[in-house]
Amino acid sequence: MKIAVCLKRVPDTEMRFAIAADGTSLDSAGLKYDISDFDGYAVEIALRLNEQQGPGEVVVVALGPDALQETLRKALSMGVDRGIHLQADPVPYDGFSIAQALASELAGQGFDLILFGRVATDTGNGMVGPMTAHLMDLPCVTAISRLEIAAGKGTAHRELEGATETVTFPLPAILTIDEGIARPRLPSLKGIMAAKKKPIESRPAALGPVRLTVDRLELPPERAGGRIVGEGPDAVPELVRLLHEEAKVL
């Protein structure tokens, strides 16, 4: 199958996290970037589908500055065949603007599947996949936790609150991939070397107008100093009293 995976380069915020002086973005000093977690699952699924179903092509597509190429190369070193870098610096917050750039790039290229991660770990919106699907008039299933493809059709599981949906759809389709579906493989060192020779095309992103912007980025409010109500079982009556009278949650 010819599969496109749309991925996002996101900062790794486990180690360093500070807000920049301008108050609207992260302080970039010492920030490392990587493929957004859920997009990694999507890449893995794409590679596995072609491993199981016979040879095909996997292409990764992403928006970003020049430094994005290193992230695309990581996908190439996992086994992806080629990359498409849509130049955008900065990448807008507005998912609809991004979806328009992706739809414009992907249209008419004959992909059997276009995969996204369910949600990006920086912006946490999960909207670019379904928006792109609408713009391309392709069937779309989001938040897939299990996937099977056979003879031009797909079956997927989605988790709702307290229930699991089974969904069928025809190909070509756009899918967004949830966690737990597959662990992304580590690139092998030979894969890293082979990636150097794989092509990455680079061109400006045809972004749509931007209507959603970030006014401010702040740390979450420090929870006002809590208190230790007491020690051991003797503190229980006081806790229950506070929960009822003060916090009003009981």
Partner 1 sequence: MADTFAFAEFRAGAFRKVAFETVSAARRAADATGGGTVTALAMGAPGLSAKAAELGRYGADRVIVVEHAELARYSPEVFAGTAAAQLKAGSYRAGFFSASAEGRDLAPRVAAALGQSLASDITSFEITADALTARHPVYVGKAIATLRLTGTPALVSLRPGAMVAVEQSRTAQVETAAPALDPASARVVVTELAQRPAARMDLGEAPVVISGGRGLKSAENFKLVEDLASAFGNAAVGATRAVTDDGWRPSSDQIGQTGRLVSPALYVAVGISGAIQHLAGMRTARVIVAINRDKDAPIFKVADYGIVGDLFEVVPPLIEAVKRARAEHQ
Partner 2 sequence: MAFAGVDFYQMDGLLSEEERAVRDTVRAWVDEHLMPIIGDCYIEGRFPKQIIPGLAELGVLGANLPEEYGCAGLNNVAYGLIMQELERGDSGIRSFASVQGALVMYPIYSMGSEAQKKQWLPRLAAGQEIGCFGLTEPDYGSNPSGMITTAKETKDGWVLNGVKMWITNGSQATVSIIWAKTGAVDDPKSIRGFIVPTSTKGYAAKDQKGKLSLRASDTSEIHLEEVHLPKDAILPKSGGIKSPLSCLTQARYGISWGAIGAAMACYDEALQYSKQRVMFAKPIGATQIQQVRLADMLSEITKAQLLCLQLGRLKDAGTMTPQQVSLAKRNNVSMACDIAREARRLLGANGILAEYHSMRHMANLESVYTYEGTHDMHSLILGQEITGIAAF
15 in contact with partner 1 (CB under 8 A):
no
Place of tokens 């030979």: 190
77 in contact with partner 2 (CB under 8 A):
yes
Residue range at the interface with partner 2 (CB under 8 A); choices 37-45, 73-81, 125-133, 139-147? 73-81
135 in contact with partner 1 (CB under 8 A):
yes
CA quadruple 151, 153, 158, 164: dihedral sign: negative
Name the DSSP letter for residue 30.
T
Binders in 171-210 for partner 2, by CB under 8 A: 186-190, 192-193, 195-196
Rounded Cα gap, residues 47 and 78, in angstroms: 8
CB nearer to partner 1: pick between 81 and 122: 122
Binders in 93-122 for partner 1, by CB under 8 A: 93-97, 99, 121-122
Binders in 17-76 for partner 1, by CB under 8 A: 17, 19, 26, 37
* Contact with partner 2 (CB under 8 A) among 8, 9, 74, 85: 74
Rounded Cα gap, residues 235 and 9, in angstroms: 48
**Residue 107 CB contacts under 8 Å (≥ 6 apart), including other chains:** 136
141 binds, among partner 2, partner 1, none (CB under 5 to 8 A by kind): partner 1
**Beta-strand runs (E) in 52-95:** 57-64, 82-87
